[in-house]
Amino acid sequence: MSLEDVANEDLAVKLTNSAGPPDLVYTGDVGITDPACTATVSTKCKAAGKGVCTKDLIFVWAVGGQDCPHTSATYTFVSGAATILPGATKVKAEGQLVLRKTDTAVAGCIGVWNLTAPPNTPIACACSIEISDAGQTKAKAQ
């Protein structure tokens, strides 16, 4: 297994759309400060002065302050969810495996959008989701 950068509190997650409304526009990568994200961050283990992310990253996007990082002019976002588990097999922080750059959500992000105009037809969406930036480049994990 290759060494990858350990993800800290400054990580960024990229969502690459593979299904859904035809006019989706990506607004940019998200971090653990996104209201949709729940992260486990070590209070004892640091990388580049920031807490190391462990255990998992859980994203639950829903209408009302936790909108998807995609937008559409013809569809309204309803909901979506994804979980990224650690790819590390040996390196732990506070007893939990660490997350690393390039770790991905096994099932990706699965969600739903509704057509804005009647008949408001729902359409499923899917994205691959991966840690695109670990937030630091010094600490590595296998």
Q: Would you put residue 95 in left (φ > 0), alpha (ψ -120 to 50) or beta? A: left
Per-residue pLDDT at 1: 58
- What distance in Å separates the CA atoms of residue 38 and residue 15, rounded to the nearest whole number? 16
- What distance in Å separates the CA atoms of residue 123 and residue 127, rounded to the nearest whole number? 13
Collapse the DSSP code of 99 into the 3-class scheme (helix H, G, I; strand E, B; otherwise coil) and give the result: coil
Structure tokens given for 64:
């009302």
Other CB atoms within a 10 A radius of the CB of residue 104 amount to 16
Per-residue pLDDT at 75: 96
pLDDT tens-place string over residues 54-112: 999 999 999 877 889 999 999 999 999 999 999 999 999 999 999 999 999 989 999 99
CA 82, 84, 90 angle in degrees (round to 5)? Answer: 165
Structure tokens given for 92:
């732990």
pTM: 0.92
Per-residue pLDDT at 64: 75
pLDDT tens-place string over residues 2-43: 899 999 999 999 999 999 999 999 999 999 999 999 999 999
| Residue range 41-54: mean pLDDT, rounded | 96
What are the backbone angles phi and psi of residue 5, rounded to the nearest 5°? Answer: -65, 135
